[in-house]
A and B are shown apart, each in its own frame.
Chain A
Amino acid sequence: MVPTLFGRIQTRLFLLATVGVIITLLIVPVLPGASGPIGPRYVSGFLVLASVAILGVLWEFLYHFLMQFRWEKDWPTSFGLLTLIPEGLLLFFLLRSGVASFIDPVPTAGQFWTHFVVVWICVWLTANGPMRVPFIRWRFRGGRVL
């Protein structure tokens, strides 16, 4: 799929709300060093997921801008994977520095990165293939779901 700006944002929100939610449900109980009641851990897991979505909308504007330098106005598969590095680092920094203080307990580095990377890879894999099975028009509309 070669995205348009709206397509990028919609695909991100849609996949985080589906694949992201399922993965979060499955992975939170088994994150490294997990202890304490499961309820608050799910709450902070989903808040992390929501932050990826909200910050992500801003990131997408940046990616869209950078894409304009490309003649083909495309976004290679590997970019979709590698952007996990800056996004992960920024979010991790925000968590550590206490800016996102509503996320409590703050996940440990191991917990954050395991959760974040697994969700990211599952979303990326879905976007690069299986998404086209139910949604046959999606790839021809720049990733718009609606």
Chain B
Amino acid sequence: MTGDLTPELLGTPEWTDQMVAAAGIPMHDIPFLTAGGGIGSFVTLDYLRIYGVPTSQMRVVSNIDYPWQTYEFLTRCSQIPRPERIRSDSSSRPDNLWGFPSYALEEAWKEKNPAFLWQILTEPILNDYWTPRAGTVFANLEREAKRISYWDMLVKGQVRMVRKRVGGGYFTVVTPPEGAAPTKRIIFRSRFVHIAVGYPGLKFLPDLQEFRQKYGDYQHVVNAYEPHEQVYEFLKTRPGTVVIRGGGIVASRVLQRLFDDREKLNLQTQIVHIFRTFVSGSHGPHIWMRRRGGDGWAYQGFNYPKSVWGGQLKAEMRKLEGPARAQKYKDMGGTNTPKRRRWQEQMRAGRNGGYYHAVQGTVEKVEPAQDGRLISHVRSKDGTIRQPVADYIIDCTGLEADIAEHRVFADLLQYSGAYRNPVGRLEVERHFEVKGTRNGDGALYASGSATLGGYFPGVDTFLGLQIAAQEIADDLARRGFCRKMGPLRSTSQWFKWAFNSTV
């Protein structure tokens, strides 16, 4: 097949138009390109469309068909089907940049249910945080995607790399799906590129990875982010034991599923829950910084303290550099889960009923027992050794791979001047331009999990992706790519959103 990358291109950090032409790769001009096509790309395009950029000026290159596809896959695996509620709050609305009306108002109105309003009024004091159903989010994303003509901008394909162009701007190399183009690659030439490719990769706990490879068993040791329905199906057929690893929201979800099935179907499931860090109460350096916790868990409504999305912690972090920033991340970081009343009840019942056992420990190795079940060798801090035997082990730690495991980031780090931030991910400016990659009048932006560790911590969330999108759109307005958004235009655009008319 013709039109492939040549050794010359691969080895040259900055390309000229002639080099690309000589390789026989077809080239298309598009002023703004976003790579990824998930929630991060979607909210960025949504902002820019609302700021007034026509679809003809922008393309999104993605390997998925609709923006919530990867998110829906991961939430479904981790036990949040459409009717269940997600983690983020009522005004984190990726389909509405104003966050008004919030999801709670919308669900209350549509279902004529004032209880939602009472909950939103009393959260998080008398009630749990009100959070929307996954299905509400998806239905609204679909509506907004149609409204901004998202699919007119979608190009299916795999982004291979982004390189600087001699004279300004960037080349984005795309591998189109098989049969979709006459050449192996196509190239987009752009002044602005945005990268939102989500998680560089999901990582397994090392001892579990070792077990899977050594014994070729991918059925009994599973990751909560991959389909693992077989675990719940098995437990319906006979009593069994499950080991849960991890202390985050995914562990809470998986526990809820196990407890729900146990209740509904009268099962005998036994659960052993291993926390590497077992939190037994309020914790933190001093009285101004103490997070609640107990029974193993650290409790927090959202994945970071609420004020990182707009309050005090956002303002503080914005000023920090280097080690001071890394320290701040450490102070407020750590795995955590919301303290939801339902989950607390289920765990209490489990402890009292003797079928839920939470322990602190580090797993040294996992081995098959003679009957084919799984033995975990667990060492606790106090020296106790436990060897629980289980039918299944579910890894709920949600470890993320290093950014360099993603080809696009590896290439940026190697050839385009990008570098790592104090926590090891991609260093971006306050307006999400990737530091070190500026080229002529062009700019390269990134948002999402790869940029964690920057001046803004809440990056890997709907609201965080929107905050990034707003910074990017405002930066593009400063550079003359679109008009600035003032109060009047914003209000008129909001009415268009409300009446579902095109931007």
Contacts and interface: CB of A to CB of B under 8 A. Distances in A.
A2 B122 contact: no
Contacts of B206: none
B314 A140 contact: yes
Given A2-B310, A73-B313, A77-B120, A139 B99 contact: yes
A72 B470 contact: no
A72 B306 contact: yes
Contact of A73 (B300, B307, B487): B307
Contacts of A132: 91, 98-100
A4 B315 contact: yes
Given A74-B307, A129-B102, 19 more contacts: A2-B307, A2-B311, A73-B305, A73-B311, A73-B312, A76-B124, A77-B120, A78-B125, A132-B98, A132-B99, A133-B490, A133-B491, A133-B494, A134-B487, A134-B488, A136-B98, A139-B99, A140-B309, A142-B311
A1 interface: yes
Interface in B302-324: 305-307, 309-315
B307 A140 contact: no
B99 A73 contact: no
Interface string A121-146: 00000000110111111011110000
Max chain A C-beta neighbours (<10 A), residue from B100, B290, B310: B310
Given A4-B312, A68-B288, A136-B485, A76 B470 contact: no
A69 B121 contact: no
A102 interface: no
B291 interface: yes
A142 B309 contact: no
Given A133-B494, A135-B487, A74 B311 contact: yes
Contact of B310 (A67, A71, A134, A139): A139
A142 B315 contact: yes
A45 interface: no
A134 B490 contact: yes
Contacts of A2: 306-307, 309-312
Interface of B: 91, 97-102, 105, 120-126, 284, 287-292, 300-301, 305-307, 309-315, 467, 470, 485, 487-488, 490-491, 494
Contacts of B100: 129-130, 132-133
Contacts, number: 93
A19 to B, nearest CB: 15
B305 A72 contact: yes
4 tightest CB-CB pairs across the interface, nearest first?
A2-B311, A134-B487, A73-B307, A74-B306
18 contacts: A1-B310, A1-B311, A2-B309, A4-B312, A4-B315, A71-B300, A72-B301, A72-B306, A76-B124, A78-B121, A78-B125, A129-B100, A133-B100, A134-B490, A136-B470, A136-B490, A140-B470, A142-B311
B487 A4 contact: no
B310 A141 contact: yes
Nearest to B302: A72
Interface in A107-125: none
A4 B311 contact: yes
A1 B300 CA distance: 18
Contact of A72 (B120, B125, B307): B307
Nearest to B494: A133
A20 interface: no
B125 A76 contact: yes
Contacts of A137: 470
Given A1-B310, A134-B490, A136-B490, A71 B292 contact: yes
